[in-house]
Structure formats: structure tokens, C-alpha cells
Amino acid sequence: MLGEDHSLLSEFPQFKDTIFSLSANNEVFAKDALKYDALDKEIRELELSGSPIDDVAMHDLKHQRAELKDSLHQRLLSGS
């Protein structure tokens, strides 16, 4: 669905406490979480404005978000 919220907290609500803890105590996790949420916001805004970029560029943004999401999820599972 276009414009759907895929922020880290909405994707992994079961890890809310872990997300807050890691964001406060792990600089690398915090940086990646911010980057992930910024990418998600950018994608959402582009989708809601009619995707004023080409399909390849949109695909690249979504691919970056997916890779970052997978990495963050693995760190959430391990708690580090």
C-alpha cells in the first residue's frame, strides 16, 4: 500500500523496549535506526506525492531500506 508507515517501531512493536535501549546505548544502532526511519519517511513522502522519481531510484531506496531493516532486525534479536 502506498504511503504505509514502515518505521522501525511500527515494523517491530514487540521490540519497543529493545529499540529504545539500543538507541540510547549503542551509537551504531542509533545511527542506523535513524537512517532507516529517514529512508522510510522519504519513501512514504515520495509515494504520497506521486513518486516524482524514476522506478529505478525508488527501487534503490526501497532496497536500501530493506537491507537496513534486516540488519537492524538481526541486532534486535541478539540484543546488541
Residue 66 lies in a domain: yes
Residue 74: its pLDDT value, please? 97
In the structure grid, which three cell numbers stand for residue 62, read together? 526501497
Q: What are 23-34's pLDDT values in tens digits?
A: 999 999 999 999
Query: Mean per-residue pLDDT for 33-38?
Result: 97
Residue 36 lies in a domain: yes
Residue 1: its pLDDT value, please? 55
Please state, in angstroms and rounded to a whole number, the distance separating the CA atoms of residues 75 and 45: 27
Residue 63 lies in a domain: yes
Q: Total domain count for the chain? A: 1
Q: Using an 8 Å Cβ cutoff, are 23 and 33 in contact?
A: yes
Q: What are 43-53's pLDDT values in tens digits?
A: 999 988 876 88
Q: Using an 8 Å Cβ cutoff, are 40 and 7 in contact?
A: yes
